[in-house]
Structure 1
């Protein structure tokens, strides 16, 4: 059954014109309600690849800029934008006294990078470090007390970043996807060697096609229309990305076919043990199709580590269901671990 549910590795081909994002001119352009306990402003900064990263900076309304605060950098799901799940987490943690940043990944949303909708695990991990660069220079941030949260695909990228950036003192993931594993093996490791070879062959030929002026092709994580026969996983993502609940015009969930294949060479859990003694918190839904990614990552990580399973939650519930996302636990985790003893 799941051989055809290869989200993020099955190739759904669309011309570029059908997935171009629209402009959003609303003053509050998020998919969630604005808190009166938090101030938000747009900021930008460059990563080491020279890509301008667009971000939203969240601060408590009662901030004292003469003090030093703990800070968090937050990356959202693969193909999503900062106005969605990453912003939900950023706002909630700012309400709890943290300085937070939700950012658009390179080649996505309002961030730079050309061509847009390019998948680059290197750039996506680098974006976390670039956010640390920026937030650590704010006068009211204690640069020795910076943590990071990665949601869905960014759960992979934040781990990659933390492996080589010791400034990230504590890491949390929510509904983590191992983006390399799912690209190589499909959901539930159901992809056969023959199917993988066919994907690689098709992508290889597409490179020549595009080099010679052919139409660019894109892999769409969540289709714009589904019917009752769609697989449950597709329905789940559709319930967030294509409905009023989580729809945002800049979140196309698209990545170019010839760049997406690069995820097959991506191994975010290799050497995850070198993050220790910095702590990692893995959060997954009890009913999440992605739960096994967090469980396997937890097994590979060294102490200190923790795995929390949220009762009755599916994968996308941990994008925006504030009644299910364990913000109390996240607050405790970062307050406990972003301390001078861990520097």
Structure 2
């Protein structure tokens, strides 16, 4: 029943998005953002959503869904949580599900498409640019602090998979983020340098970067930008998370028309240049890391935890579930959301 509701909810969001784009707020291609109009998503839960957009650097427009809790009162001030989607994902998938569930528990939440993804602007699309993802988060905080019903001193951030790494990379120097959480958190830089299951040698990393550089040369001379699947069709050598990722992103389980699972081949270099923990010594805010005990990415959760200097840090293990299970499986999402709710209520009080 929950799965059916999720797809109905995703469909309603998509319909609302088409309708919103028929009007503009003064910027070409920007959805309507009139004062706090709310659109019902699920009348039984009382959560409402409105389509929003905000401008970041380079005149790139970011588009999101803002979730408002039951009995929302615009004269009150609420704690707010950013929900950052995985690489290759969009706001209607796992980030939107967590945003919705946290809004059910009393938070104002925002799930938005990163630059170069989904409904957001930026060209070329399909770019996975980690340091720009960090800037997206900063501008999302800028947007939240303009809302009169958001308490600027009670803003948290949650990221899933690479989104978790992006949040951890942002929070040390973005002190408006008061609490940080990661679900199946991953450092996209480490995962691409070392490979998802680790073991990629320095020589192999250099060879990979040489191949990417050669592709950029071909593109500079007029070749079409090369796109590759984030989760290609599985083989015997495919890591469990990518095998499950194929089933999540590329089948009816969570497929979305604005998330075709491609990324630009040239993005391999920008991903390998990134580190989510390079400034982690400054991350003194409370941190919660949620991971499944069957996740093949557990080494990244351990790596994050060990890199964090603060004392208010915790790993919460969801028994019986894998990395991708935490994206949408009710048995995994339920305890994860409850733990996140308790964490954010404590740290954003």
TM-score, shorter chain, exceeding 0.5: yes
Deviation at 1:260, TM superposition (A): 2.5
SS of the residue aligned with 2:59?
coil
- Residue 315 (1) aligns with residue 315 (2): no
Deviation at 1:44, TM superposition (A): 0.5
Query: Which residue of 1 is the match for residue 13 of structure 2?
Result: 28
Give the 5 Å matches for 1:266-277.
Answer: 266-276=274-284
Give the 5 Å matches for 1:261-300.
Answer: 261-276=269-284, 278-300=285-307
Deviation at 1:136, TM superposition (A): 1.5
Query: Which residue of 2 is the match for residue 77 of structure 1?
Result: 86
Deviation at 1:131, TM superposition (A): 1.1
- Partners of 1:182 and 1:189 within 8 A in 2: yes
Give 1:332's match in structure 2, choosing from 324, 337, 342.
342
Query: Which residue of 2 is the match for residue 40 of structure 1?
Result: 49
CA distance, structure 2, for counterparts of residue 35 and residue 321 of structure 1: 19
Q: Residue deviations 1:180-215, cap 9 Å, x none?
A: 101111123211222212211111111110011112
SS of the residue aligned with 2:340?
helix
SS of the residue aligned with 2:92?
coil
Query: Larger deviation: 230-239 or 170-179?
Result: 230-239
- Residue 149 (1) aligns with residue 158 (2): yes
The answer for unaligned runs of 5 or more in structure 1 is 1-24
- Partners of 1:118 and 1:260 within 8 A in 2: no
Aligned positions, number: 311
- Residue 187 (1) aligns with residue 196 (2): yes
Q: Residue deviations 1:243-294, cap 9 Å, x none?
A: 2221111112222111221111111112312111x10101111001111101
Give the alignment's TM-score, normalised by structure 1: 0.86
Give 1:65's match in structure 2, choosing from 55, 68, 74.
74
- Partners of 2:229 and 2:263 within 8 A in 1: yes
Give the alignment's TM-score, normalised by structure 2: 0.85
CA distance, structure 2, for counterparts of residue 100 and residue 193 of structure 1: 41
Q: Which has the higher contact order (CA 8 A, sep 6+)?
A: 1
Give 1:119's match in structure 2, choosing from 124, 128, 140.
128
Deviation at 1:49, TM superposition (A): 4.0
CA distance, structure 2, for counterparts of residue 249 and residue 104 of structure 1: 13
| Closer, same or farther: CA 172–232 of 1 in aligned 2, 3 Å | closer
The answer for unaligned runs of 5 or more in structure 2 is 1-9, 16-40
Query: Which residue of 1 is the match for residue 221 of structure 2?
Result: 212
CA distance, structure 1, for counterparts of residue 129 and residue 244 of structure 2: 25
Query: Which residue of 2 is the match for residue 130 of structure 1?
Result: 139
- Partners of 1:85 and 1:319 within 8 A in 2: yes
CA distance, structure 1, for counterparts of residue 207 and residue 345 of structure 2: 48
Deviation at 1:233, TM superposition (A): 3.4
CA distance, structure 1, for counterparts of residue 174 and residue 237 of structure 2: 44
- Partners of 2:228 and 2:265 within 8 A in 1: yes
Deviation at 1:61, TM superposition (A): 3.4
Give 1:238's match in structure 2, choosing from 232, 239, 246.
246
Deviation at 1:121, TM superposition (A): 1.0
- Partners of 1:35 and 1:91 within 8 A in 2: no
CA distance, structure 1, for counterparts of residue 42 and residue 312 of structure 2: 33
CA distance, structure 1, for counterparts of residue 235 and residue 277 of structure 2: 36
